[in-house]
Structure 1
Amino acid sequence: MNYIGYYFNIEPLQPAAEILIAELGEVGFESFVENENGVDAFIQQEDWHENILDSIQILQSDEFKITYSTEEIEQVNWNEEWEKNFEPISVKDMVSVRAPFHKNPNLTYDIVIEPKMSFGTGHHETTHMMIEQLLSLDLKEKDVLDMGSGTGILAIFAEMKGAKHTDAIDIDEWCYENALENIERNQCSHIDVYKGDVGLLKDQRYDLIIANINRNILLNDLAAYHGCLKNGGILLLSGFYVEDVTALRAAAENLGMKYDGKLEKNNWVSLKFLN
């Protein structure tokens, strides 16, 4: 499976980079790498078409200068790119997220991720906040759902925190395969990975649901999440901006869930709800 890579140079960088990522996500781009010059964005070749950028409004803005180049990327080249660009991180000095070639910093939790094309290394604000959210929860003997699981990083951390079982679901084949690899790499034995979407959630029940996707998908699938959440269960959402909070909070509360706080990082937000 080949990808098309777009390499955007942006002046000034913010908030244009955040807006660009959000708009590209709406038209099918699924992986992003932010850097000091702009954003690298990737889309599966089969989902690409020559007019893919026509609806990206930020590219028409006079407030920012955005230029880009493109290339076709073969799957086998991606590990080399991550080895050049993926730096280890820590969350609250308790959780390390690193690649196999990084030294173990010996924090309380050590997550080893080889991300390839999948979203979820802890570098992006949304993944970082979701790790923070999980760090504060008691997951012992809990049944967990990780929707839009990407690399599998949050499912892996849930097991490290004591979860009894976790279902990890992502619509992308690459994410599915990558999550399986990372789960094995972290010696997890209580995670099942599925390729699909919210349609897989029939007759399932969870103590905790994690959904780090985007605003539109979250709004569309909230009712399904609620239907799978046990009484007293917790729903964690991320993948959206501060300006999306009102709509998402209203939708969740209309389903009977109780708002229980948020985390915010560089205009990205994570919300917590109780059932």
Structure 2
Amino acid sequence: MDKEWIEVSITTSSEAVEAVSGILYNTEVKGVSIEDSQDVEFKKKHPEDWDYFDESLLKIKDGTAVVKGYYKQDKNLNGYLKYIKDSINNLESFGIDKGKGLITVSKVNEEDWENKWKEYYKPYKVGKHIVVKPIWENYEAEKDDIIVELDPGMAFGTGTHETTKMCIKALEKYIKPEYTVFDIGTGSGILAITSSKLGAKEVTGVDLDPVAVKSASTNVGYNHIKNVNILHGDLMDVVKGKANIVVANIIADVIIFLADGVKDFMLPGGVFICSGIILERKEEVVDKLNKTGFKIEEINEDGEWVCIVASVK
């Protein structure tokens, strides 16, 4: 096996981490690592938890993040780099601050890459009961812990981002045992798997990205659950029936688009949990949900991000 990889490093804003990760996963990226200012501060304060500390991380300041993608050197790489550059430059048209938007390319050894991206992910508790655990990590479960096994190197959605955490907390609050859940833009499958673990009767995750579909399906297998179905495509085209809960952790523009038709896939009294919304677009999304017949149940904020829970009137 070739031991050398190409590392594409993108210096961006913390706000743009999920979007930049999504851009990378639209290419044939083999793995992604993320560092932001909070991670750097934690590692500086707890050096005993890490085999080494990369001094280059000291350049990461508040509100800044570095997203790194790892590729094999092949004929497609230049095309991927152009796509990444164009997509990052286009983030601001979606209301997402790209930060510096600086892209650098370098060669790394395979062993160094594996250590770097895997060391970022540790078992992480979200809400009252959910513990997101990378499949290679050991974790001694406490009473009432609900473990979600995940390989977060395959598709974004690790549980550590504010948008994902708020969705998990909302799912903890609203899921009941007889409920059906649809997860739009399932990514790694984390919200679909969490829904099942919280007791939902039936869960469907959908994603337009075939890489995400494969990743989510693999992660479902790691959790040994039988009631989660992962589909490739758009909610409107591939999902049959109606759900008690629809969760969408995407971006404001997609949620605004979904608001017109998502009620057709929801049972009376159903709940729409939507996140991935930056703070300055909160009122725009709330206004759209109100106009399309939803009742706003709650609005939660974490940093620069918003999660809105709305019900069908």
What is the TM-score when the length of structure 2 is the normalising length? 0.72
Give the alignment partner of residue 17 of structure 1, picking from 14, 17, 21.
14
Deviations 1:120-156 (A, max 9, x none): 1101111111111111123211111000111111111
Query: 1:142–1:163: 8 Å Cα contact kept in structure 2?
Result: yes
Give the alignment partner of residue 98 of structure 1, picking from 115, 125, 133.
133
**Percent of aligned pairs sharing the same letter:** 22
Which one-letter code corresponds to 1:86 in the other structure?
A: Y
Distance 1:202 1:97 in 2: 27
Query: 2:187–2:212: 8 Å Cα contact kept in structure 1?
Result: yes
- Trace 1:220-239 onto structure 2 (pairs within 5 A): 220-239=257-276
SS of match in other structure, 2:286: helix
Structure 1 pair 254–71 and aligned structure 2 pair: CA distance change class (3 A): farther
Deviation, structure 1 residue 239: 0.6
Of structures 1 and 2, the larger Rg is shown by 2
Which one-letter code corresponds to 1:8 in the other structure?
A: I
Instruction: Supply the RMSD in Å over aligned alpha carbons.
Output: 3.2
Aligned to 1:13: none
Q: Which runs of 5+ in 2 are unaligned?
A: 26-31, 38-59, 72-76, 94-98
2:266 corresponds to 1:266: no
Aligned to 2:67: 40
Structure 1 pair 41–240 and aligned structure 2 pair: CA distance change class (3 A): farther
Query: 1:241–1:267: 8 Å Cα contact kept in structure 2?
Result: yes
Aligned to 2:219: 182
Give the alignment partner of residue 105 of structure 2, picking from 53, 59, 70.
70
Query: 2:14–2:36: 8 Å Cα contact kept in structure 1?
Result: no
Highest relative contact order (Cα 8 Å, sep 6+), 1 or 2? 2
Query: 2:127–2:165: 8 Å Cα contact kept in structure 1?
Result: no
Q: How many residues align?
A: 260
What is the TM-score when the length of structure 1 is the normalising length? 0.82
Structure 1 pair 120–55 and aligned structure 2 pair: CA distance change class (3 A): closer
Structure 1 pair 23–138 and aligned structure 2 pair: CA distance change class (3 A): closer
Structure 1 pair 173–262 and aligned structure 2 pair: CA distance change class (3 A): same
* Structure (1 or 2) with the greater helix fraction: 2
Distance 1:76 1:211 in 2: 36
Structure 1 pair 32–227 and aligned structure 2 pair: CA distance change class (3 A): farther
Aligned to 2:243: 206
2:244 corresponds to 1:243: no
Give the alignment partner of residue 9 of structure 2, picking from 7, 10, 15.
7
Aligned to 2:294: 257
